[in-house]
């Protein structure tokens, strides 16, 4: 049995996968969310995948205790992604740069930025929201962008300042490679294209040549050995890495421990372009899912221990974790509400008055380095 340990609100990616590709094998997979875990102290033998990459402090402690107790029960239990050891986005970028595997540096927005090469951009440290700013070309632009984000509810302690790395080819096309690790297997997932440096999936970006290029990448798995090094450095046994190539070297952007594996089945008529690309990419998707399911099969063949495993995490810790998580979600709802309001035409005029106030009065950086602190 494969158990996905995941936050309830972010479990949809696994459900898409089960519905779209694993429905016939549904009995092999089970999703465990905190509301189940805090009441269930007996756990069946199997493989437990901790797909958790945005934990509040009490969750770190609770899941760490759960991991350590499950890990004491021999060959019947296999564990992936230690919740206290897997590297987050900042730690990974810094470790890759320090080891010479990446040209990209990053720091928290509360720290000095004099060591960074401009341009840079702002993004969240834990969430997968993409860039929160355009490319910024000076410390002054960084400070102004941070003040605007503060109005939207973002705290500097949760933001990163990240160097831009231009990986476009001679035609100005950016490529984003994505690959999974499942246990000890590397499984390429997709190759996406775009003229914008923050590449997002766009069916219109695919032509026959790019469909073929993506299929060759997924089938050949050309970066297997180097990706193993990256995942080992990050202490990750399950997740998806997004990266590009620069002069033949991997430039890793992040590892997502809870990626959306599949997509929901269409509930309405697809556009002609979306349908065309979906059909053309069918062979590539089939290659991925065949290997992906085979990797889970391999993890599901270890000897099973008899009976269940007792795990105890103090109920008070789960209550604290639930309260901290609720506070985090309130912050996210506030950000979404402000973002919605800022896009309403009736409020555009008000924003024109707010922007000069945000941009007024640059703060003099402290001696010894350029800082983005107020």
Query: How far apart are the C-alpha atoms of 278 and 286, rounded to whole Å?
Result: 12
Q: What are the pLDDT digits (tens) for 236-288? A: 999 999 999 999 999 999 999 999 887 766 656 777 878 888 888 999 999 99
Which residues in 200-237 are b (16+ Cβ under 10 Å) and which e?
Answer: eeebebbeeebbeebbebbeebebeeebeebbebbebb
Query: How far apart are the C-alpha atoms of 138 and 114, rounded to whole Å?
Result: 10
The full set of domain ranges for the chain reads 2-86+303-326, 179-299
Tell me what the mean pLDDT of segment 50-71 comes to: 91
Query: How far apart are the C-alpha atoms of 50 and 66, rounded to whole Å?
Result: 10
Q: What is the pLDDT of residue 26?
A: 75
Answer yes or no: is pLDDT of 361 > 70.
no
Tell me what the mean pLDDT of segment 11-24 comes to: 79
Query: How far apart are the C-alpha atoms of 363 and 374, rounded to whole Å?
Result: 6
Tell me what the mean pLDDT of segment 114-131 comes to: 93
Q: What is the pLDDT of residue 374?
A: 43
Instruction: For residue 134, name the pLDDT band (cuts at 50, 70, 90).
Output: very high
Task: For residue 77, give the H/E element and its range.
Answer: strand 77-80
Instruction: For residue 235, name the pLDDT band (cuts at 50, 70, 90).
Output: very high
Find the radius of gyration of the CA atoms of the chain: 22
Answer yes or no: is pLDDT of 367 > 50.
no
Tell me what the mean pLDDT of segment 87-102 comes to: 95
Here the tokens at position 313 are 């995490």
Query: How far apart are the C-alpha atoms of 292 and 182, rounded to whole Å?
Result: 8
Which are the contacts of 209, defined by CB distance < 8 A and separation ≥ 6?
none
Instruction: For residue 295, name the pLDDT band (cuts at 50, 70, 90).
Output: very high
Instruction: For residue 13, name the pLDDT band (cuts at 50, 70, 90).
Output: confident
Query: How far apart are the C-alpha atoms of 105 and 120, rounded to whole Å?
Result: 10
Answer yes or no: is pLDDT of 363 > 50.
no
Which residues in 75-109 are b (16+ Cβ under 10 Å) and which e?
Answer: ebbbbbbbbeebbbbbebbbebeeeebbebbbbeb
- DSSP E strand stretches across 154-291: 159-163, 174-182, 185-194, 238-246, 249-256
Lowest-pLDDT range of 168-177, 253-262, 325-334: 325-334
Query: How far apart are the C-alpha atoms of 30 and 43, rounded to whole Å?
Result: 12
Query: How far apart are the C-alpha atoms of 351 and 68, rounded to whole Å?
Result: 50
Tell me what the mean pLDDT of segment 31-47 comes to: 84
Query: How far apart are the C-alpha atoms of 12 and 29, rounded to whole Å?
Result: 14
Q: What is the pLDDT of residue 204?
A: 80
Instruction: For residue 99, name the pLDDT band (cuts at 50, 70, 90).
Output: very high
- What pairs with residue 159 in β-bridges? 124
Instruction: For residue 19, name the pLDDT band (cuts at 50, 70, 90).
Output: confident
Q: What is the pLDDT of residue 362?
A: 44
Here the tokens at position 197 are 């440096």
**What rounded mean pLDDT belongs to the chain?**
86
Answer yes or no: is pLDDT of 61 > 60.
yes
């Amino acid at each position: 049995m494969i158990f996905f340990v995941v936050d309830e609100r972010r479990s949809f990616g696994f459900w898409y996968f089960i519905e779209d590709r694993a429905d016939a094998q549904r009995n092999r997979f089970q999703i465990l969310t905190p509301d189940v875990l805090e009441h269930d102290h007996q756990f069946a033998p199997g493989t437990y995948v901790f797909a958790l990459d945005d934990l509040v402090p009490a969750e770190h402690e609770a899941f760490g205790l759960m991991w350590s107790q499950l890990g004491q029960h021999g060959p019947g239990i296999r564990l992936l992604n230690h919740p206290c050891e897997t590297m987050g986005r900042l730690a990974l970028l810094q470790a890759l740069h320090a080891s010479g595997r990446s040209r990209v540096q990053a720091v928290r927005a509360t720290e000095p930025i004099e060591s960074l090469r401009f341009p840079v951009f702002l993004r969240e440290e834990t969430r997968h929201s993409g860039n929160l700013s355009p490319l910024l070309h000076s410390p002054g632009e960084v400070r102004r962008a941070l003040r605007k984000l503060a109005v939207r509810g973002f705290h500097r302690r949760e933001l990163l300042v990240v160097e831009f790395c231009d990986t476009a080819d001679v035609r100005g096309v950016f490529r984003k490679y994505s690959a999974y690790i499942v246990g000890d297997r590397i499984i390429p997932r997709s190759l996406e294209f775009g003229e914008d440096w923050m590449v997002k999936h766009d069916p219109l970006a695919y032509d026959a040549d790019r469909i073929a290029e993506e299929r060759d990448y997924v089938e050949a798995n050309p970066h297997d050995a180097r990706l193993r090094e990256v995942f080992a450095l990050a202490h990750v046994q399950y997740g998806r890495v997004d990266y590009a190539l620069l002069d033949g070297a991997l430039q890793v952007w992040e590892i997502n421990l809870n990626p959306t594996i599949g997509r929901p089945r269409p509930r309405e008529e697809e556009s002609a372009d979306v349908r065309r690309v979906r059909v053309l990419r069918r062979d590539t998707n089939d290659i991925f899912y065949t290997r992906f399911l085979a990797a889970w099969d391999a993890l599901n063949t270890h000897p099973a221990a008899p009976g269940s495993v007792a795990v105890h995490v103090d109920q008070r810790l789960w209550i604290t974790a639930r309260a901290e998580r609720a506070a985090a979600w309130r912050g996210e709802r506030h950000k979404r509400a402000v973002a919605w309001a800022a896009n309403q035409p009736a409020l555009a005029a008000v924003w024109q008055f707010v922007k000069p106030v945000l941009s007024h009065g640059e703060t003099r950086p402290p001696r010894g380095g350029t800082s983005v602190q107020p």
